[in-house]
Amino acid sequence: MSAIADIGAPAAQAVERMLSAARARAEAIGVRVHVAVVDGAGNLAGYLRMPGSFLSSGELAIDKAYTAASFAMTTRDFGALLEQAPRPVRDGLLRRPRLTEVPGGCPAELQGRPVGAVGVSGGSEVEDEDIAAAALAAMLREDISGRE
């Protein structure tokens, strides 16, 4: 047994494909967004800011990705989970830096392993989730193990 934990992460080429696909989808539906990709530990692996996107969407995209990676669920599902939680739990979690229930964060998984997440902010909830789905689909186009 190793004393070193392997933190899943998409390979650099996969991150580039994810950001490119997210930009293409955002352009196709006519929105300007920020896109953040994080590894399994929530560390920023890639980031894109489209010109003209909302300033406040930058940190929110990163927070969405961090939350999705932290809980291995979409931020929409995290919000639904919190609705069922006692008030002190809900309030306590949402007061933590970087956690958000705003839809647009989606976890990434390869070969049954969590490898991070993508967060999108700048469009509507549905648009952000649609763009995140396009980014995840791009990650899966090739078998990427996280090792280059």
Q: Which residues span the domain enclosing 53?
A: 12-139
Give the separation between CA 119 and CA 71, rounded to whole angstroms: 13
Give tens-digit pLDDT for 59-116: 999 999 999 999 999 999 999 999 999 999 999 999 999 999 999 999 999 888 889 9
> Across the chain, what does the average pLDDT equal?
92
146 within a domain of the structure (yes/no): no
Question: Using 50, 70 and 90 to split pLDDT, how confident is the model at 147?
Answer: very low
Residue 64's domain is classified under what CATH number?
3.30.450.150
**pTM to 2 decimal places:** 0.91
Q: Report whether pLDDT(148) > 60.
A: no
5 within a domain of the structure (yes/no): no
Q: Report whether pLDDT(4) > 80.
A: no
pLDDT of residue 9: 86
Give the separation between CA 7 and CA 117, rounded to whole angstroms: 13
Give the separation between CA 36 and CA 119, rounded to whole angstroms: 5
pLDDT of residue 142: 64
Diameter of the chain measured on Cα atoms: 50
148 within a domain of the structure (yes/no): no
| More confident position, 27 or 3 | 27
Q: Report whether pLDDT(145) > 50.
A: no
Give tens-digit pLDDT for 113-141: 889 999 999 999 999 999 999 999 999 88
62 close to 47: Cβ distance less than 8 angstroms: yes
Both tokens assigned to 101? 């229930």
Residue 13 one-letter amino acid: Q
- The total number of structural domains that make up the chain: 1
pLDDT of residue 93: 95
145 within a domain of the structure (yes/no): no
3 within a domain of the structure (yes/no): no
